[in-house]
Amino acid sequence: MPLVHSEEQTLLREIARDFISEKSPTGELRRLRDEPDPIGFSKSLWKEMAELGWAGIPFAEEFGGADLGHTELGVVLQECGRTLTASPLLSTIALGGTAIDLGASEALRKEVLTGVCSGQRILAVAHQEQTRHAPYATETRATKTPSGYTIAGSKTFVLDGHVADQLLVVARTSGSSRDRNGLSLFLVDAETPGITRTRTLQVDGRNAARIEFRDVEVDGQRLLGEIDRGAEILDPVLDRATAGLCAEMLGGIEAAFEHTLNYLKVREQFGTVIGSFQALKHRAAELHVEIELSRSIVIEVQQAIDSGDEAVPELVSTAKARLSETAFLMGNEGVQMLGGIGMTDEEDIGLYLKRFRVQQFTFGDASFHRDRYANLRGY
């Protein structure tokens, strides 16, 4: 398949860019942060996004979805990334909805995805427990009861966990911590007794939650897939969400680069624009090269997901490592090239730097993914 967007995808991008730049320019994030908004994103914006069909992009028409692919979801995420738009696209669509779509029974899919596609239901996936991404390092336990399971343990860095209506909880049903086998996925209503959620305000102005599960009862019908084999759902879900995150990162990187490049062309020192200094030119050119490579891998990984390519895990790790490195470079070079103003809260580049930091770490940073890639490649 050619590594370019189709006409329809290009059209979607244009629509998304117009919509986002009008409704959710970069300043929006600052407003949400400073008010401070109790949930961290605009519910009315999410409603409009859902009306445009974005909440249902990868889901079937029978649930109200658009029956498109992750390439299209990536197109929209990339545009949102440009202005750092906060929305549940990642938590609810790329992660939660995808988990339901891949793992749930027909009845459960209908129940949950219908609400997701209409924009009414927010989901969060509760998988992480430690200070870094380690998908199988799960100590949270689910113990069998006559009618279902009881979940006990604690989760951290649950994206949009503070506002989610339902949580997808990764719990251990057998084996010991770090085993891939023995994990199971449960769909749990967020208001179930025994759940305590604490909103954590992140450096990027977004939200995640710490969640405690104190003997939380869950019905046996709410198990996704088979018992002990949750990783078979979790792995492809994380791959898809990571690919989506990479698209969002690419959008942010592109916007930050354009912004920086523009400054190089207008700011004058020593009687000339600073963009004429070779030290800065070369660094800008290097950034451009890294961004070109990032563009290629982002579209490639999304097309691979949509075509069911078996190399998806390797490609996802390649993409996340690459995008994390490029985002790191862009954030740091951006602040440096803007000089003093780059350090101010009023300048947008700082918002990008902070968001990049969180994105780099989410779902595993570059070294995590190089390690995973080497494992997948058998060395």
Partner 1 sequence: MNELEQFREETREWIETSCPESLRSSTGQRSGTTMGGRRFPVFAEPAEDSHLWLSRAVERGYCAPTWPREYGGAGLERAQAAVLREEMLRLGAPPPVVSMGLLMFGPTLLEFGTEEQKQQHLPPIARGEISWCQGYSEPGAGSDLASLQTRCEDRGDHYSITGQKIWTSGADVADWMFCLVRSDPGAPKHEGISLILIDMNQPGVRVSPIKLISGSSPFCQTFFEEVRAEKNALVGPLHGGWTVAKRLLQYERQGISSSGFMGPTRGTDAPPELAKRYCGTSDGKVADPIIRDRLARMEMDQHCFNSTVRRTADEARAGNDVGTASSIFKYKASEDAKKRGELMVAILGTQGLGWEGDGYEPFEIDQTRTWLRSKGNSIEGGTSEVQLNIIAKRVLGLPD
- Catalog residues that contact partner 1 under the rule CB under 8 A: 2-4, 261, 264-265, 272-273, 275-276, 278, 280-282, 284-286, 288-289, 292-297, 299-300, 317-318, 321-322, 367, 370-371, 373-375, 377-379
What sign does the dihedral 183-188-191-194 (CA atoms) show? Answer: negative
What is the closest distance, in whole angstroms, from the C-beta atom of residue 135 to partner 1 in the complex? 18
- CA 336 to mean position of chain CA atoms: 27
**For residues 145 and 375, which CB has a smaller minimum distance to partner 1 in the complex?**
375
The dihedral region occupied by 308, where left means phi > 0, alpha psi between -120 and 50, and beta the remainder, is left
Task: Select 116 or 246, whichever has its Cβ closest to partner 1.
Answer: 246
At 110, is the secondary structure helix, strand, or coil? helix
Instruction: Please report how close the Cβ of residue 376 comes to partner 1 at its closest, in angstroms.
Output: 10
Of the two residues 31 and 282, which places its CB atom closer to partner 1 in the complex? 282
The one-letter amino acid code at 40 reads G
CB nearer partner 1, residue 187 or residue 287: 287
Length of the chain (residues): 379
Cα torsion angle, 207, 208, 211, 217, sign: positive
- 196's enclosing H/E stretch is strand 195-201
Among residues 166 and 326, whose Cβ is nearest to partner 1?
A: 326
Q: In whole angstroms, give the CA distance from residue 373 to residue 313.
A: 8
CB of 295 to partner 1, least distance (A): 7
DSSP annotation string for 232-252: HHHHHHHHHHHHHHHHHHHHH
